[in-house]
Amino acid sequence: MRKLILAVTIAALAVVAFPSASSQPVRARKAMVISANAMASQIGGEVLSEGGSAVDAAVATAFALAVVHPTAGNIGGGGFMVVRTGSGAAAAYDFRETAPAASSPTMFLNAGKYDADLHHNSYISVGVPGTVAGLHLAWTEHGTLPWKRLVDPAVKLARDGFPISVALARSLAGTLRQFKRSPAALAQFSKKGEPYEAGEILRLPDLARTLQRIADRGAAGFYQGETADLIAADMKAHGGLMTLNDLKNYQAKKRQPVRGTYRGYGILSMPPPSSGGTALVEMLNVLEGYDLKANGFGSADTIHLVAESMRRAYADRAENLGDADFNPSLPIDRLTSKDYAATLRKTIGRARASKSSPTSFTWPTESNETTHLSIVDDQQNAVSMTYTLEAGYGSKIVVAGGGFLLNNEMGDFNAGPGLTTAEGLIGTPPNMAAPGKRMLSSMTPAILTKDGKLAMVTGSPGGRTIINTVLLTILNVVDFEMNAQEAVDAGRFHHQWLPDRITYEKFAFSPDTLNILKARGHDVRETDSQGVAAVIVVDPTGGVLEGGLDRRQADGGGAVR
């Protein structure tokens, strides 16, 4: 019987290459994987068809992304996974990078002066990677298929190679100059310094061997033995800080998700060291006090109220948040309470933009490359996972002999004590570098429930804009009753307290809306696209899954059954 079911489900698996021409979501009766790469989604979909859980599919998809989506898919970075089981249990897995033991609050200073390159762009900018430990921890608790089965497809992809897409060819060519700093990166991602062309096959034999060690030995295949030796040797040769001990001591953590409610929906998202869940719940609490539906999607009134909520949540984020293990009294309960939202609402004027006060500080630069995957299996177990190397291709350093890119996540720590400048550095204590500490993140993997049942899985890359992109996908579904694809397609905007302005995607605001916002005192500026959301909505009437995948990125894909 079991065999028969498997045969039927495998036959029923369809890989859907997004984007499609219509705003219709992709629909599935049972299960769905949405990720930034169709090949990776297919691998996750096959796992689901074999009876694997959503976490199994996330593990397989994530390892595959580390091969085919090297800008952000990774084993040398970190991230977060929020899991909700079909029976309602929820957990948040934290595999954020940690600062090596030799780190200190002044590590980004060079002869007493702040050095942005050291902070964002050097061997010092590499945090101890968390991805392999995090995937392994989540699998230990929720996996049903053998670990090796989940890593094997990535080994095969890396060993046998895969065709380079137009988008990847462009992206690799655009990063060629920066790869030159790392001979292993240049060797791996170019043809002796010449860019690959779309359609050529990219083979990654060193990465295949590293993945094979992980397949054979689990997390120890990364944090100990040959892989760890290769990382530590590369670090030592180039003045990096990470040691064998840092790697051996790395631990992924299971945490309680941040919880909230919004118009009858339950919200589950990521607690610190991400600021995402806290800021998301804070904004939703504020917005619950307004009738956004009556104000209308895209109206100046709605944009004004949402932007004012964003402004306040981002100010709180900057002032208060950091790694909870190093800041034992973070005010998460206060920031996510309905009472606090009510006091914030009293400070929002309907007719006038507030002013962000730059008396304290602004937030440091974060770049735009991360990736999110949303997965639901046929037991309604759900995974919302965002992981990253920080910048596109992270530090652009490939570990010699290891074949994988290292993150530059240390750049998410504050610049240095007292270093608060008008140019955007901040020097407040909660997010200062310290041995073993996790740097503050904006990643916001989120899961919504309604009446105790799974309702929505959402998330996005996009640095600081992530929290707002996730917020907008939720408002689009809950307040404006959009389907998953419409919710993803709709134009986005962003306010992050400082700089004090609303940025909006081209065509997101009409000219007259812009005029009203300006008249209220908002500084409004057009920007490039914002985020790459991956959304699954469970249709409440029939339990059918609707998937929305973002056309803002070229290679995205979904697998459904």
Identify any residues that bridge with 82 across adjacent strands, giving them in sequence order.
Answer: 92, 384
Site for ligand DON in 327-366 (CB under 6 A): 366
Alpha carbon 475 to its chain's center: 19
Q: Which two tokens stand for residue 255?
A: 């945490």
**Whole-angstrom distance, CA of residue 61 vs CA of residue 56:** 9
Q: Does 388 bind ligand DON (CB under 6 A)?
A: yes
Of 373, 234, 278, 375, nearest to 268 (Cα)? 278
Q: Does 212 bind ligand DON (CB under 6 A)?
A: no
Decide: helix, strand or coil at residue 453.
Answer: strand
User: Is 50 buried (19+), middle (13-18) or exposed (0-12) by CB count in 10 A?
Assistant: middle
Q: Catalytic annotation on 370?
A: yes
CB of 431 to ligand DON, least distance (A): 11
Pick 158 or 446: Cβ nearer ligand DON: 446
Pick 461 or 547: Cβ nearer ligand DON: 461
Pick 301 or 366: Cβ nearer ligand DON: 366
Alpha carbon 292 to its chain's center: 27
Answer for which of 94, 246, 412, 500 binds ligand DON (CB under 6 A) is 412
Q: Does 479 bind ligand DON (CB under 6 A)?
A: no
At a CB cut-off of 8 Å and minimum separation 6, what does 163 contact? 198, 199, 200, 201, 202
Return the range that interacts with ligand DON (CB under 6 A); candidates 138-146, 172-180, 461-469, 509-517: 461-469
Do residues 31 and 558 lie in contact, with contact meaning Cβ atoms separated by under 8 Å? no
Alpha helices in 392-536 (DSSP H): 466-478, 484-489, 511-519
CB of 544 to ligand DON, least distance (A): 30
Pick 167 or 544: Cβ nearer ligand DON: 167
Q: Does 444 bind ligand DON (CB under 6 A)?
A: no
Alpha-carbon dihedral angle through residues 224, 230, 231, 232, given to the nearest 10 degrees: 80
Answer for which of 105, 143, 427, 461 binds ligand DON (CB under 6 A) is 461
Of 442, 141, 84, nearest to 268 (Cα)? 84
Q: Does 445 bind ligand DON (CB under 6 A)?
A: no
At a CB cut-off of 8 Å and minimum separation 6, what does 421 contact? none
Pick 246 or 366: Cβ nearer ligand DON: 366
Q: Which of 9, 175, 362, 370 is catalytic?
A: 370
CB of 339 to ligand DON, least distance (A): 28
Pairing, β 502-505 against β 524-527: parallel
Alpha helices in 196-289 (DSSP H): 205-217, 220-223, 225-237, 244-249, 276-287
* φ, ψ for residue 415, nearest 5 deg: -70, -45
**Whole-angstrom distance, CA of residue 280 vs CA of residue 313:** 8
Q: Does 406 bind ligand DON (CB under 6 A)?
A: no
Q: Does 368 bind ligand DON (CB under 6 A)?
A: yes
CB of 558 to ligand DON, least distance (A): 20
CB of 280 to ligand DON, least distance (A): 13
Site string for ligand DON, 99-128 (x = CB under 6 A): ------------------------------
Pick 107 or 305: Cβ nearer ligand DON: 107
User: Is 417 buried (19+), middle (13-18) or exposed (0-12) by CB count in 10 A?
Assistant: middle
Residue environment code for 57-88, b if the CB has 16+ CB neighbours within 10 A, otherwise e:
bbbbbbbbbbbbbbbbbbbbbbbbbbbbbbee
Q: Does 278 bind ligand DON (CB under 6 A)?
A: no
Q: Does 462 bind ligand DON (CB under 6 A)?
A: yes
Pick 169 or 466: Cβ nearer ligand DON: 466
Pick 266 or 445: Cβ nearer ligand DON: 445
Return the range that interacts with ligand DON (CB under 6 A); candidates 252-260, 445-453, 457-465, 550-558: 457-465
Q: Does 448 bind ligand DON (CB under 6 A)?
A: no
CB of 175 to ligand DON, least distance (A): 14
Q: Does 322 bind ligand DON (CB under 6 A)?
A: no
Q: Does 381 bind ligand DON (CB under 6 A)?
A: no
Q: Does 218 bind ligand DON (CB under 6 A)?
A: no
Q: Which two tokens stand for residue 379?
A: 């037991």
Pick 165 or 388: Cβ nearer ligand DON: 388
Q: Does 370 bind ligand DON (CB under 6 A)?
A: yes
DSSP string, 79-96: EEEEEE-TTS-EEEEEE-
Q: Which two tokens stand for residue 499?
A: 């700089």
**Number of residues located near ligand DON, criterion CB under 6 A:** 16
Q: Which CA distances in Å does 109 have to 104, 117, 125, 219, 363?
A: 10, 10, 12, 34, 18
Q: Does 505 bind ligand DON (CB under 6 A)?
A: no
Answer for which of 169, 466, 477, 514 binds ligand DON (CB under 6 A) is 466
Region of residue 288 (phi > 0: left; psi between -120 and 50: alpha; otherwise: beta): alpha
Q: Does 390 bind ligand DON (CB under 6 A)?
A: yes
Q: Which two tokens stand for residue 174?
A: 């655009």
Q: Does 37 bind ligand DON (CB under 6 A)?
A: no
CB of 409 to ligand DON, least distance (A): 6
Site string for ligand DON, 424-443 (x = CB under 6 A): -----------------xxx
* φ, ψ for residue 379, nearest 5 deg: -100, 10
Pick 206 or 316: Cβ nearer ligand DON: 316
Binding site for ligand DON (CB under 6 A): 366-370, 388, 390, 409, 412, 441-443, 461-463, 466
Active site residues: 370
